[in-house]
Amino acid sequence: MSYKLFTTVFLFITMAVLLTIGAFNFWIDPLWTFSHAHEKNDVQVVIDERQQKVNQLYFGDEDYDTLLIGSSRTTYIPASEFVGWDVFNFAASDLAFQEYKGMIDFAKEQKGEFDRIIIGVDFFKSSVKESEDPVSLEPYVEKVKEPFYRWKNLLSLDVLDYSRKNYRISENDQIVELRNYNRHNTAFAKHFEQGTIEEETKAKVYKFRQQFFGDNYQYNEKMKTVMQQLKDENPNTEFIIYTTPISAPLYNAMIEEGNEEDYDRWLSDLVDVFGGVYHFMYPNSVTKDLSNYFDGHHFYPNVGEKIARTISTGEFTGDFGVYLEN
């Protein structure tokens, strides 16, 4: 074989391989830089929630009138369950209140002003320890704005690994992790046996006692100011605040560790700023039933559906939820 022929064959094979990788990554789209959906990519793994959702907002052409933000708990609220609202769920793992402004500003940059912004607030994330070192959204925004960002990723072998995994779990139609998504930014969680849930809840209660409650908790005085600034910077937007419902054992641990006064102040400050709060974080028929959680800390999407319907209709289900006002 001549050198010229060898070079031609080599280049042809290389191009064929790259085109195959690029086509497969495009077809599965694990980074959410395109919008096509089919049965072979309808279950997606979490790579980096912030980046994936930034990508979806930046490249997507859907319009939304409502923005939903919060921590990993809020990811389990299906946007489609809000009655009459077009909601984008921008919630991400370990989100603290210091990050709200950056997320709101980026979402507005892409979609314009929202009619309403819903914020799911977690009591333990109002502590100094859990809110003073927030994750900046800026690196994710800078990345998505890089030239040819989504096209370069089509040739990535790392992306190919995620594409292959998404293909396998989509083909089997399986939810295999604590959080998988479909192509419509709806999160699902793997279901566990009741015994496993009880053990995971005990472990989570122990962790919160050791790391987040009691003397580990110091209320962050900045929270009220930050929330007021959000409201002031968005005068034409309705803010809807809700408290995320933790399981009754986790709530009881918070009280036993001496944080009830902090909890009351947290609620009072939220009501002072926003005029009212949809409150779900207290012992009730939902939070007492551990089957509604996979670890006593994160609720399953069926609970998220109830929250969405309550917030969008104002109608409560039994003893689950109250509206706190001044």
Mean pLDDT of 152-176: 94
Tell me which residue of 44, 79, 49, 39 sits closest to 62, measured CA to CA: 79
Question: The CATH number of the domain where 229 resides is what?
Answer: 3.40.50
Residue at 5 is within a domain? no
Mean pLDDT of 213-232: 97
Residue at 231 is within a domain? yes
pTM of the model: 0.94
pLDDT (tens digit per residue) in 37-48: 999 999 999 999
pLDDT (tens digit per residue) in 71-97: 999 999 999 999 999 999 999 999 999
Q: What is the largest CA-CA distance in the chain?
A: 85
pLDDT at 1 over 70: no
124, burial (CB in 10 Å: exposed 0-12, middle 13-18, buried 19+)? buried
Residue at 317 is within a domain? yes
Element (H, E) at 120: strand 116-121
DSSP state of 44: E
Confidence bin at 146 (pLDDT 50/70/90): very high
Between 144 and 134, residue with greater pLDDT: 144
Residue at 62 is within a domain? yes
pLDDT at 9 over 70: no
Lowest mean pLDDT among 125-134, 288-297, 305-314: 125-134
Round the average pLDDT of the chain to a whole number and report it: 94
pLDDT at 170: 95
Confidence bin at 174 (pLDDT 50/70/90): confident
Confidence bin at 14 (pLDDT 50/70/90): low
pLDDT at 99 over 70: yes
209, 116 Cβ separation under 8 angstroms: no
Q: What percent of the chain has pLDDT over 70?
A: 96
Range of the domain at 107: 47-146+173-325
Q: How many domains does the chain have?
A: 1
Mean pLDDT of 286-304: 97
201, 290 Cβ separation under 8 angstroms: yes
Residue at 19 is within a domain? no
pLDDT at 131: 92
Residue at 152 is within a domain? no
pLDDT at 205 over 90: yes
pLDDT at 96: 92
Angle between helices 260-274 and 222-233 (to 10 degrees): 20
Mean pLDDT of 289-315: 97
Confidence bin at 314 (pLDDT 50/70/90): very high
Residue at 9 is within a domain? no
Residue at 167 is within a domain? no
